[in-house]
Structure 1
Amino acid sequence: MKRAELILLGITAIWGFTFPAMKVSLSYMPPILFLAYRFGIASLLMLLIFRGRALKKDTLLEGALLGITLFFGHGFQIVGLKYTSASNSAFITSLYVVFTPFIAYFMLGDRLRRRDFLSLGIAVLGLYLISGASLNFNYGDLLTVLCALSFAFQIVLVQKFGEKDHVSLAFWQIFWNFVLSSIYALSVEGFTLPVNPYPWMGILYTGVLATVIAFTLQLKYQKETKAHKAAVIYSSEPIFGHISAFITIGEVLSGRGYLGALLILGAIWNEIRN
């Protein structure tokens, strides 16, 4: 098991633990405005910490492409939730596990092995069980498929731009996500300044840990593994999401949900053991 893959697993845990923080925060403010605050604070922190290194112009275009894929990923997911169930959204979003290796094949020329197909198949089955998804397909499901495609492209683009400076790539990705989220939020949702401390706790947690630290480490270490391997590792996010929900609000999985969690862990182990 590579050190880089363990770090990616740790990043996934950070992302998984954002679910209760975001759930509480969204009770006080619109979703895209929450993203604007999150990525705005993260952009400011990146500038304060890394200063001139964050502003390298030779990564501006690549960072913009990464920011666009992340913005559409978050946007399609949130809007899709208006028209479909949370369980369907969780499962369909996680289809980036399936989309990533095929996009990586066409964009990067990565070849797949039988073990890779086995890991992907096991992960998808595990995600299906842990989300309790149904097979009814509606407009919200379609939007969430576009969300999964966006996240898959982000994973592959991180791999493609891996030789660039990871700090400036992370900054431009975060900054452009902030710009796009702000434009949408101010145009559609309107501006509000939360006065309750709870949404600010969620914004700070997701902005510092899940954005500045997680995305910087992702850009630094994902290049040391394959894009489809990273996708399988990221598929453990629902497990960490359920762990955080259990710790904070006492939520418990069903029997098939725990079976799904075990299958996802098995897929990850099969993928990164060599």
Structure 2
Amino acid sequence: MNRSELILLGITAIWGFTFPAMKVSLGYLPPILFLAYRFGIAFLLMLLLFRSRVLRKETLKEGFILGLTLFFGHGFQIVGLKYTTASNSAFITSLYVVFTPFIAYFLLGDRFKGRDVLSLIVALTGLYLISGASLNFNYGDLLTVLSALSFAFQIVLVQKFGERDYLSLAFWQIFWNFVFSSAFALTFEPLMVPKDPIPWLGVLYTSVFATVIAFTLQVKHQRHTKAHRAALIYSAEPIFGHISAFLTIREVLSLKGYLGAALIMAGIWNEVRKES
């Protein structure tokens, strides 16, 4: 691993710890309003810290596209989190790793291999088990699969656009995510300003660490690795997510759930062997 890949691993740990933080916050806030607060604070912080360095029209269009994929990714994820566990959300979100080679094929022309297909099959078998081994999938788990697809698009598009000004690109994707989240929340959700500090701790953690710091570093350092390698590094996120969910809210999976999680990780790590 080079320095940039180690930084991406650190980002992955930050993202893993967002799952229990968001799960707890959802007891106090509607899901998309939570995102609006998260990305609103992140947008203002980036504007305050970097000012004219991020307000570049050259990256506005690309930032809009990335912001749209992030809105769908986070939107499906956090709404799904209302109906599933933090651990399920973490492991199912990680399916973007096995989706990425196929999205890269359609968007970048990168060829996928037989091992990619095997990884996808193994991981989807894990999804079946972690969701209860029934074709009647949990609603939250299904939404989280859509989230994983959206994040796969975002990862590949970062690879495509990453040669542009990374700081401005990170700013615009955060800004557009805030715009989309706010518009949705104001239209479909009640406006709330909680007095309890607990949800604000989740908002601040996810906005400052998981958004401003993580997205800025992601766009800067993912340029120095391949899209599939970045996805592989991010594969540690569900492990961090489950550990943090266990430590903070004492969440555990069933035996079938752990088997499903293991298969999801096996499918993901099969991608690691592909490049070794």
Q: Is the Cα–Cα contact under 8 Å of residues 126 and 261 in structure 2 kept in the other structure?
A: yes
Structure 1 counterpart SS, 2:54: helix
Change (3 A) 1:6 1:193: same
Root-mean-square deviation (Å): 3.0
Q: Answer with 127-136 or 150-159: which moved more.
A: 127-136
Change (3 A) 1:243 1:143: closer
Give distance in 2, aligned partners of 1:4 and 1:124: 30
Amino acid aligned to 2:210: A
Report the CA distance between 1:234 and its aligned residue. 2.2
Q: Answer with 203-212 or 251-260: which moved more.
A: 251-260
Give distance in 1, aligned partners of 2:138 and 2:199: 31
Aligned to 1:223: 223
Give distance in 1, aligned partners of 2:198 and 2:221: 32
Q: Is the Cα–Cα contact under 8 Å of residues 59 and 169 in structure 2 kept in the other structure?
A: yes
Q: Is the Cα–Cα contact under 8 Å of residues 100 and 156 in structure 1 kept in the other structure?
A: yes
Q: Answer with 180-189 or 100-109: which moved more.
A: 100-109
Change (3 A) 1:3 1:96: same
Aligned to 1:271: 272
Per-residue CA deviation, residues 129-171 of structure 1 (Å, 9 max, x unaligned), is 6665644347766654433322111111100001011111010
Aligned to 1:19: 19
Amino acid aligned to 2:67: G
Q: How does 1:26-65 map to 2 (within 5 A)?
A: 26-65=26-65
Per-residue CA deviation, residues 47-89 of structure 1 (Å, 9 max, x unaligned), is 111111111111001001000111112223344567x655776
Q: Is the Cα–Cα contact under 8 Å of residues 17 and 240 in structure 2 kept in the other structure?
A: yes
Change (3 A) 1:255 1:80: closer
TM-score for both structures, normalised by structure 1: 0.85
2:136 is equivalent to residue 136 of structure 1: yes
Give distance in 1, aligned partners of 2:138 and 2:25: 27
Amino acid aligned to 1:59: T
Structure 2 counterpart SS, 1:55: coil
2:89 is equivalent to residue 77 of structure 1: no
2:167 is equivalent to residue 167 of structure 1: yes
Structure 2 counterpart SS, 1:235: helix
Change (3 A) 1:105 1:120: same
Change (3 A) 1:104 1:45: same
Change (3 A) 1:147 1:13: same
TM-score for both structures, normalised by structure 2: 0.84
Give distance in 2, aligned partners of 1:85 and 1:21: 14
Q: Structure 2: 5+ residue runs without aligned partners?
A: none
Paired residues, what number? 273
Q: Answer with 253-262 or 90-99: which moved more.
A: 253-262
Aligned to 2:106: 106
Report the CA distance between 1:231 and its aligned residue. 2.3
Change (3 A) 1:139 1:27: closer
Give distance in 2, aligned partners of 1:102 and 1:173: 23
Structure 2 counterpart SS, 1:24: helix
Q: Structure 1: 5+ residue runs without aligned partners?
A: none
Change (3 A) 1:142 1:238: closer
Q: Answer with 205-214 or 45-54: which moved more.
A: 45-54
